[in-house]
Amino acid sequence: MFVFEMVFFILSVFLVCCTSYIARNNEEASRATVEKQARDRGRVLSAIEAVSEKFAPVVLMRYSTFKELGAMMAHEEARD
């Protein structure tokens, strides 16, 4: 009977250790996921801010018009 109780005790301790290990790893994984989501959100907000605040002058034209001009030129000239 003593051997059975020892085996039961050892298995119980083992299960408690495994449960604790799994819980700790799950908590670390959750924390890492939350941190990654926060970093990603920051990057997205930064990209949106950069796009909305830093405009560059752009002229869109047909290739045929560009070909007629014969060369690259300042956007002010091409606009007129």
Give me the half-sphere count of Cα atoms (radius 13 Å) on the Cβ side of residue 55: 4
Domain chopping of the chain, boundaries: 2-79
CB 51 within 8 A of CB 35: no
Q: What is the mean pLDDT of residues 53-69?
A: 79
Q: What is the pLDDT of residues 2-60, one digit of tens each?
A: 777 888 888 888 888 888 888 887 888 788 888 888 899 989 888 888 777 666 667 78
Ramachandran region, residue 11 (left: φ > 0; alpha: ψ -120 to 50; beta: rest): alpha
Q: What is the pTM of this model?
A: 0.41
